[in-house]
Chain A
């Protein structure tokens, strides 16, 4: 009977080795991932003993500050409430972190490399967090939030030259003091909300058409209604028939049949190439947590599929329909790129990281992403878009004294009830903007364009 007893003991040796293995998995090898888990209140509690850095708006107003509690901990306060809740996020023992509070956590708690940490502990210096100076503009943010309050919508405004985020607004928002309250959402419509872009996407198609050298703004194209695209006739808005018109006119009047045909003629490869350059298909390179952003592109069952897929109707994608879904941030980035002579900048919320002694230790801004098109192309597309605001569907956004380029979009959601997603994207010499209002009656040029105008005015345009 002794042999099976030995074997049984061997089995327990194996079982206990498994226990040691799993313990090391959690305590050592997988510990970093567990520490970074949003739910881990231990880490948040530990870091509450550190005076967390202040997050400020571009005018110096405090968006997130720290108040000392009696027991040596610090509590976070958000003086602007729900106004900046989406970009700033929160830092909570129970709910973890989100937004800038999460992305810049290492800086906000003043985490240093091991050597710096050692030096600090030698001189008994207490750890203090670094401050963040964002590029967010409180006045414009307020205007944007007022305009979309009570609706489902989002506004993103970027600095054309640097990619600095001036406005990042979305509704519904939430109150950082009242996390988890029913009816509020921490979902960021501006970076996570996916909407069909409708005609605003024609700017991407126009870029591809002109930069590839296949078309010019004055190329003659046929705006006939009911052209057959991918085997099905396609109609223009209101069934309107255009004759032979220029490409500029086709953008000004948002002629579906022209742009769908342009998309088909350019082909899947070319469309894919320009979408890639604009940053479709991946998370926008913004300083914001990856889990709170969504990539834009043709989407099938929650996954991005390439243009080369047979499921993609390239003609209807070229006019922002079919499977195409985009975030407001992505469309703002498209406008910024065209406005910046074809160079896409990485969107940035934070301009400077400032240490407790007042030194700037990090300047995340500006960072060039890539050149999407030639300067010449950018100027041509910009001119075409200016004509949209001057005489086309986007006149409601026109600003006095400043030349605005833009494109409207009206993506049909429920044709019977005339429910649409309403868009406007555009740019001046300094600011690019994207506005979306989801699921309302009307047209992009009538509902979204005036909001863009007010936001641009608030930003001094």
Chain B
């Protein structure tokens, strides 16, 4: 069967999942099954089909599983957002349409994505500017102490979601050029490979940028995400584990320093260590995330059953549609549902890295690796935050969390991966 037909077939379960999910929520809400669930399913199937057609005609050799996997996540996310708040779900569906349009534009405009290499510095500056926008007075917004969003009139926006793509493009282009020098100029000292000082500079610059973000944006999670993607790329580009080690030590040192000096980061770490100490204050969100996962158990309470609000209307889980959506999923669908979701992300990561290994040139390899790594890291940072593996920070769960910027940025990321994949697999 051709790649495109496999893709088309794989989209059917995604639509069925959406229909079944909405049906389950309608039954839970009112004991009657309205045909709205079918409508949602049909519309979603139509959207997926449109996306599929674009891929079929523009990228005939692209990876057949990536798009259906993301569609599964998107429809699953839509069901969960609908279950949390149906007006939000309507917005989210609109974001999906806009995301799909951006997806198509990216594919059409960047069929030869290697032009990106030429604009690496422009893209780097654009990326940094996007990351720093939330600190611009007047439009920047502080949420939970971190600066991650901006507000322009009625439009709220998380520029960091796009910034991550820009930064990965820059790093891939930059490392393609310097990887040879980084490796060849190295000396071995005490069994550790030390990169040449001249080329050590950029490493320090990126480290500095990550630290700067920690202080400026005050978000350990996104800082970890960008720096982690950088280290992943550095490792793949040079195949020198010692570089990663040096980078990790630098990051750990810097993070420790700022964690003990920047109040907000410090507080996040304290909550992480003991969310019950200040239960009625800062620990409330993470503690209730844990409670709701415990409430879910092995198979969950059932889609739409778990409690989100107290009878008084006060939230039982603050930010259920964004930061804490994983806790809601585990509450509704149990450990089984949570693991299923993680498995889908793992499959996406597998497809992404597969694309990287198949690509012919280093830029494509690095770009595919970087895009996959940054998305996988984002999943780790947010789910890890909710499950108390690391301190909780406000990044979204790709394709699942509510949020326009997140949906749009991830569709662009997906488009880039498919474009690289098509080129790699074209005989």
Contact = CB atoms under 8 A, between A and B. Distances in A.
A35 interface: yes
Contacts of B280: 94
Contacts of A26: 290, 293-294, 330, 387-388
Given A1-B236, A8-B235, A12-B349, A27 B376 contact: no
A8 B295 contact: no
A237 interface: no
Given A5-B369, A22-B387, A73-B311, A42 B357 contact: no
Nearest to B389: A22
B236 A34 contact: no
Which of B293, B334, B342, B373 is the most central at the interface, judged by chain A CB atoms within 10 Å of its CB? B293
B294 A19 contact: no
Interface string B312-335: 000010000000000000100011
A242 to B, nearest CB: 54
Contact of A27 (B330, B369, B380, B383): B330
Contacts of B369: 5, 8
Given A27-B330, A31-B294, A16 B346 contact: yes
Contacts of A31: 293-295, 297
A19 B380 contact: yes
B388 A5 contact: no
Contacts of B379: 16
B330 A34 contact: no
A28 B335 contact: yes
A45 interface: yes
A15 interface: yes
Interface string A17-47: 0111011111110111011010111110100
Interface string B383-403: 110011100000000000000
B294 A5 contact: no
Name A's interface SS: helix
A200 B269 CA distance: 49
B376 A2 contact: no
A41 B235 contact: no
Contacts of B296: 27
Interface residues of B, number: 47
A12 B388 contact: no
Nearest to B329: A23
Contacts of A16: 342, 345-346, 349, 376, 379-380
Contacts of A41: 291, 310, 316
A23 B338 contact: yes
A31 B379 CA distance: 23
B98 to A, nearest CB: 29
Contacts of B232: 8
A113 interface: no
B362 interface: yes
Interface in B206-239: 232, 235-237, 239
A45 B309 CA distance: 10
B349 A45 contact: no
B365 A1 contact: yes
A1 B350 CA distance: 16
Contact of A39 (B239, B276, B295, B373): B276
Contacts of B292: 42
* Residues of A in contact with B, size category: 35 or more
B287 interface: yes
B339 interface: yes
A19 to B, nearest CB: 5
A115 interface: no
B338 A27 contact: yes
A8 B241 CA distance: 11
B343 to A, nearest CB: 8
A3 B365 CA distance: 12
Nearest to B312: A93
B272 interface: no
Contact of B346 (A3, A13, A42, A71): A13
A42 B316 contact: yes
Contact of B349 (A9, A40, A43, A93): A9
B307 interface: yes
A4 B339 CA distance: 26
Contacts of A45: 307, 310-311
B8 interface: no
A25 B379 CA distance: 18
B33 interface: no
Contacts of B200: none
Contacts of A34: 290-291, 293-294
Given A12-B346, A23-B338, A24-B335, A6 B297 contact: no
B187 to A, nearest CB: 21
Contacts of B316: 41-42
Contacts of B389: 18-19, 22
Nearest to B292: A42
Interface string B356-392: 1100001001000100010010011001100111000
Contact of A5 (B335, B353, B384): B353
Given A5-B353, A8-B373, A22 B388 contact: yes
B256 interface: no
A5 B357 contact: yes
Contacts of A93: 310-311
B339 to A, nearest CB: 5
Interface string A142-170: 00000000000000000000000000000
Contacts of B239: 1, 3-4
A27 B297 CA distance: 5
Given A5-B236, A8-B235, A19-B389, A35 B294 contact: yes
Interface string B270-311: 000000100110000001001111111110000000010011
A37 B291 contact: yes
B362 A1 contact: yes
Nearest to B376: A12
A39 B294 CA distance: 13
A30 B356 CA distance: 39
Contacts of A2: 357
B236 A8 contact: yes
A19 B316 CA distance: 23
A295 to B, nearest CB: 24
Contacts of B330: 23, 26-27
Nearest to B355: A5
B175 to A, nearest CB: 11
A145 B379 CA distance: 58
Interface string B136-173: 00000000000000000000000000000000000000
Contact of B335 (A7, A27, A94): A27
A337 B335 CA distance: 52
A19 B239 CA distance: 27
Interface of A: 1-9, 12-13, 15-16, 18-20, 22-28, 30-32, 34-35, 37, 39-43, 45, 71, 73, 93-94
25 contacts: A1-B239, A1-B365, A3-B239, A6-B353, A7-B235, A8-B369, A9-B349, A9-B350, A15-B380, A15-B384, A19-B383, A20-B339, A23-B330, A26-B290, A26-B293, A26-B388, A27-B334, A32-B294, A35-B294, A40-B291, A42-B307, A43-B295, A71-B311, A93-B310, A93-B311
Given A5-B357, A20-B338, A45-B310, 8 more contacts: A6-B353, A8-B232, A8-B373, A15-B384, A20-B339, A26-B330, A26-B387, A40-B294
Closest 5 CB pairs of A and B: A34-B294, A22-B387, A31-B294, A26-B293, A27-B335
